[in-house]
Amino acid sequence: MLKIGIDDAGRGPVIGPMILAGVLINKEQETELRKLGVKDSKDLTPRRREFFAEKIKKIVECFETILISPNEIDKNNGDGTKLNELEALACAKIINKLNKGDNKIQVIVDCPSPSIIKWSDFLKTKIKNLSNLEIICEHKADKNHIAVSAASILAKSTREKEIDKLKKKYGEKIGSGYTSDPATQRFISKYANKYKDEGIFRKTWITWKKASKNLKQKKLF
C-alpha cells in the first residue's frame, strides 16, 4: 500500500511562514527511509535535518510543500478562518496533488487540532477524491510514522530556508521567529512598526500587537 505523510512546521512563530509538506512513499521506500534513520525533525540537529531532507527528496515517490505567508495567516484570521482550518485546506491541496491514479493510499496526517474527529471531518470535505484513500489523523504522527517523519523534515527544512532568507535581509538579530526566542523578542520590540508592512510579521499574534502598542506609546512620550 502507498502512504502519504503530512506535517507542518512554523505554526507558532510570530515571524515567517508556516510550511506544510507531504510525501508519497511505497513500502520499499518506507523501509529505505527507516534504514536511513529518518525520524521526527524535532529530534534532529539543523545540519542532520538538511542531510535527511536531500536524501528524502531522492528516495520518495514524490513530495509537495506549501508555504503559507504571514499575510495569508493574518487575512484568514481576520476573515474568521482559524489556523487549524487553514492548515486543513493546505493538507487537502497536498493530498489532491499527490493522489494520482486508483491505487489504495493510506494518508497519515499529524493533526494540529485537539479535536481530531472534527478536524478530520473538515479535512475530508476539501479532498476531491476519497474513494481510494484511508485518512488517519492523529497526534504525534511525526514520531510514530516514517512517512510523517519524512514530511516533518521537509517542512522544517523549508521553513529554515525561508528564515535564512529573512536573516540575509534583516540580519541574524531576527532570530528563529519563535515567540520564545529572546533574539526574536528583541527584534520585534524594536522593529514591529518599522517593518510592519513588509509581510514578515503575523500581526494578528498578541506578541506583535503588544510590541507595536509599546512602540507607539514610547513615540508619544
Q: Give ∠ CA 15-18-23 in degrees, rounded to 5.
A: 150
- C-alpha cell recorded at residue 94: 497536498
pTM: 0.94
CATH 1.10.10 spans which residues of the chain? 171-220
**What is the DSSP secondary structure assignment for residue 202, as one 8-state letter?**
-
Tell the CATH topology of 2-166: Nucleotidyltransferase; domain 5 (3.30.420)
Name the residue among 77, 74, 37 with its Cα closest to residue 55. 37
pLDDT for the residue 17: 98
CB 201 within 8 A of CB 70: yes
Pairing label, strands 18-25, 2-9 = antiparallel
Rounded Cα distance between 207 and 185, Å, is: 8
CATH 3.30.420.10 spans which residues of the chain? 2-166
Pick the CATH number of 171-220 from 2.40.50, 1.10.10, 3.40.50, 2.30.30: 1.10.10
Residue type, 154: L
Rounded Cα distance between 61 and 81, Å, is: 33
pLDDT tens digits, one per residue of 14-44:
999 999 999 999 999 999 999 999 998 988 8
**Rounded to 5 degrees, what are φ and ψ at 121?**
-65, -40
Rounded Cα distance between 52 and 37, Å, is: 9
pLDDT for the residue 79: 60
pLDDT for the residue 100: 83
Query: For residue 81, what pLDDT band results from cuts at 50, 70 and 90?
Result: low
